[in-house]
Structure 1
Amino acid sequence: MSKSFDVIVAGGGAAGFFTAINIAEANPKLKIAILERGKEVLSKVRISGGGRCNVTHACFIPNDLVKFYPRGEKELKGPFNRFCSGDTIEWFDRHGVELKIEEDGRMFPVTDSSQTIIDCFLEASKKLGIQIIMGESIKSLYRADSHWKIETNKEVFLAEKLVMATGSNPKMWDMLAEMGHTIVSPVPSLFTFNIKDPRIKDLMGVSAQASVKVKGTKLQAAGPLLITHWGMSGPAILRVSAWGARELFDKNYQFTLQVNWLKDFTTVECEEELKELKEQQPKKTVAKQSPYDFPNRLWQSLVNAAGIQPETRWADLSKKQLKALAEQLTNGEYQVNGKSTFKEEFVTAGGIDLKEVNFKTMESKLLPDMYFAGEVLNIDAITGGFNFQNAWTGGYIAAQSIVEKF
């Protein structure tokens, strides 16, 4: 016996729940089910933002917001004009969840707990009568007359409208490819760089405001850089990894990273400043005190890398040593050999080709009455709440479009 619904949402993650709740609120008479293959729902929400759930970002202008999306920038302009970060804040506020803005613009629930978001979704679903069915792995999708037939490992479901909010699930992508959709092959998008280099060997935990560039490419970014056990991380590195997801994949994650520890300074400007320091404090030991806004340990390591002995005084620095130090500070080259991804922030570049989706409705251009929301699409962003914002916006638009059809 098959079970019939007006709408079935495949995927019990952020995008799936948001879509289902918005449909049910706009039309409480509709019979809606969420099918989740795992034993629990919203598991990625639980671990996101270090368990605090980075709900969105305090960037409220659609044309600025789209710039955080290496894939999806052009397509999201229209959708963000309909449902943006401000609408997200208002939506959660209406559902009893207050958000706060942190210094870097990231937004979290005031409780600092992702459980707040999970409870909000589960309570709303219960109140609205949305059925949540777990342990249902979709085996086949079939379009029959005016409805979808969905076969799982346990039973058969029928639905007039189907929302694919299955995230970066390769099996679902394969199924959609068989039905005619083009899948842009997935590659990791947010990762840190593995670097073994004596200059950073014992400096884990040290961070600095830096700018980085992948040598021989146009890839560059600026922001906090963090030295870790395995190499380099932090927002500057993650930005480069997101924008360079495909290019760095093609390089097999072997490349040279140029690091400017002074962010905006050129090598020439740095050299001039070092000459001034030499005149101002001739008797002081070079390695003793960092003249820049980063920890002494990093300064000492770079001084050492420039071939300057620990006891050398500023007055005794040769032209060659000054030049070498300026080079280490503003244009140090580090060999990257591989990447590390962290599970909770793991994002994939790849998914349904965006040309095959109507962004006014989030409906498939190839398969009528099939809608998409979230990471199933070839859209991804840097960290900071942007990937969730894509889920909320896509889910909201899909919900409005579906409700209009009933």
Structure 2
Amino acid sequence: MSSLTIVVIGGGAAGFFGAITAAETFPNARVTILEKNRTVLNKVRISGGGRCNVTHACFDNRQLVKHYPRGEKPLRSLLTQFDATATVNWFEERGVPLKTEADGRMFPSTNTSDTIVDCLLTTARRLGIQIRTSCGVAEIRRSESSDWTVHLLTGETISANRVLIATGGYPQLASYGWLPEPAESIIPPVPSLFTFNIPDSPFLSLAGVAVPDAKVYVVGTKQEQRGPLLLTHWGFSGPVILRLSAWAARDLADANYRFTLRVNWVPTLNENELRTTLQNFRQQNGRKQVISQNPLGLPSRLWQALASEVDIPETQRWADLPAKPLNKLIERLTNSQFQVVGKSTFKDEFVTCGGIMFDSLNVQTLESKAQPGLFFAGEVLDVDGITGGFNFQSAWTTGYVAGLNIGV
């Protein structure tokens, strides 16, 4: 089809991957990327602290999909077309080898996101893809002369046979209003991947202290996670908090981000085991001060703060520690409770739970059932992963699948 015209709306990871795949698959097509901002690939540029966490070294797709609070089932099917192994190979074939860190995150070996940005830009330009910035889209309409007319905010119109929507997630349902997709196919968006604001936390002065292993619970729900926790000057962050915010995104939105968070600082021990550990330590270290001798491997500043919270004096020796403060300390270690009042965005990485329902699309092609010729990819879909490269992987996967099928 020599006259095929494809317009990709959104110059991010999914948009570029979709455009590149479309141009490679349908070499006679004219492909244009429209980006409302002055620059493209902005999220790619800032992600991973400017290093770009491209994907995760999880090459078993059955395990990979377990890192997505939303979208697990459709991703299972989509990953058969383009998975993490394919992502690694794709970049390596274009001169961008990736390296794996201890936690499984994969970055360009250059350690800078510029390498990924340059690779995508260079590939797009080599394929003749037109990249237009400062091009916000007002609406898309079916037209008689071609399949679609894209109306820009400037008043300009662009004709297209196929359109790929890869605009990323929106914070509010009203923001999806310009799409021709039926309203019932859009799941109202709420934030995912955020940190917790705890203004009354007794640990605000401990900002920067990291706890390698903690278990956290949203009281009144079944939502719980375990992993590294970071104390901040506004509350809590770290991988375990981000995972909890993702899996509990709907529950926390319903609670207006006001809820009780329970923390177990020593999840490897139950209450009886903890009591036995402390009693044994007490017998062997009776002359030592409680506040300076921590038998549990917790950061010393956190241990001191927990001991101070239950009114254990700095001069208190283990041998003379009364039963009441010991019981309080055990309670704090296993069942600290905090009142969360609001959230904060994690490192400018805005991720949403919600978007276009997969049920409204052909899950093998990502084409709209109601609007043939209209495709979707990336975070505009109702798919989101936890941190660690999973959101970029879904962008590469959905962009690839849409691009592969958009000219058929």
User: TM-score, with normalisation over the residues of structure 1?
Assistant: 0.95
Residue equivalent to 2:229:
225
Q: Does 1:72 align with 2:71?
A: yes
Shift of 1:14: 0.6
Give the deviation of 1:354 after TM superposition.
2.2
Task: Number of aligned residue pairs: give it.
Answer: 401
Match of 1:282 among 286, 292, 298: 286
Q: 1:126 to 1:295 in 2, by over 3 A?
A: same
Q: Shift in Å at residue 402 of structure 1?
A: 2.1
SS at match of 1:344: coil
- Asked if structure 1 preserves the Cα contact closer than 8 Å seen for 2:6 and 2:31, the reply is yes
| Cα distance change of structure 1 residues 172 and 287 upon mapping to structure 2, 3 Å threshold | closer
TM-score, length of structure 2 as denominator length: 0.95
Do 1:173 and 1:352's aligned partners in 2 also have CA atoms closer than 8 Å?
A: no
User: Which residue matches 2:275?
Assistant: 271
Q: Report what 1:130 is aligned to.
A: 129
State the Cα deviation string for residues 216-268 of structure 1 (Å, max 9, x = none).
11111111100000010000000110111111111111111111111322222
1:152 equivalent in structure 2: 152
User: Is the CA contact (8 Å cut-off) linking 1:177 and 1:183 kept in structure 2?
Assistant: no
Map of 2:253 onto structure 1 = 249
Q: Which amino acid aligns with 2:353?
A: A
Task: Measure the CA separation in 2 of the matches of 1:257 and 1:181.
Answer: 34
Distance in 2 separating the partners of 1:290 and 1:27? 64
**Could you say which residue in structure 1 is the equivalent of 2:164?**
163
Once residues 150 and 303 of structure 1 are traced to their aligned partners in structure 2, the CA distance between those partners, rounded to angstroms, is 63
Displacement of 1:5 in angstroms is 5.5
> Structure 2 CA distance, aligned partners of 1:334 and 1:180?
38
Instruction: Answer yes or no: is 1:56 the counterpart of 2:60.
Output: no
CA distance in 2, matches of 1:201, 1:49: 25
Equivalent position of 2:345 in the other structure: 341
How far the C-alpha of 1:385 sits from its partner, in A, is: 0.6
What letter is aligned with 1:244? A
Report the identity percentage: 51
Q: Is the contact made by 1:275 and 1:322 (CA closer than 8 Å) also made in structure 2?
A: no
Q: Distance in 1 between matches of 2:164 and 2:180?
A: 16
CA distance in 1, matches of 2:180, 2:340: 35
Give the match for residue 322 of structure 1: 326
1:140-159: CA deviation from partner (whole Å, max 9, x where unpaired) = 21123551111113321111
Q: Confirm whether residue 351 of structure 1 aligns to residue 348 of structure 2.
A: no
Displacement of 1:123 after TM fit? 0.5
- Paired with 1:163 and 1:345, the residues of 2 have a C-alpha distance of 23
Q: Does 1:377 align with 2:381?
A: yes
Question: SS of 1:315's equivalent?
Answer: helix
Q: Deviations for 1:10-48, whole angstroms, at most 9, x for unmatched residues?
A: 111110000111111223221111111111111111111
Question: Are 1:310 and 2:314 matched, yes or no?
Answer: yes
2:181 touches 2:370 (CA, 8 Å); kept in 1? no
Kept in 1, the 8 Å contact 2:83–2:397? The answer is yes
The answer to whether the 8 A contact 1:5-1:33 is kept is no
> For residues 177-212 of structure 1, what are the alpha-carbon distances to aligned partners after superposition, in whole Å with 9 as ceiling and x for unaligned?
665552211111111111134531311110112111
Specify the code of the residue in structure 1 equivalent to 2:163.
L
Matches within 5 A, 1:200-215: 200-208=203-211, 209-215=213-219
State the 1:397 CA deviation: 0.8
- The 3-state SS of whatever aligns with 1:113 is coil
Q: Which runs of 5+ in 2 are unaligned?
A: none
> Residue 202 of structure 2: SS of its match in structure 1?
helix
In 1, Cα distance between the equivalents of 2:373 and 2:184? 14
Checking the alignment, whether the CA contact within 8 Å between 2:141 and 2:180 is kept in structure 1 is: no
Deviation at 1:386, TM superposition (A): 0.6
Determine if contact 1:181/1:352 at 8 Å carries over to the other structure: no
* Whole-angstrom distance in 2 between the partners of 1:193 and 1:264: 24
The equivalent of 1:188 in structure 2 is: 191
Q: Which residue of 2 aligns with 1:261?
A: 265
Unaligned runs of 5+ residues in structure 1 are none
Matched letter for residue 193 of structure 2:
L
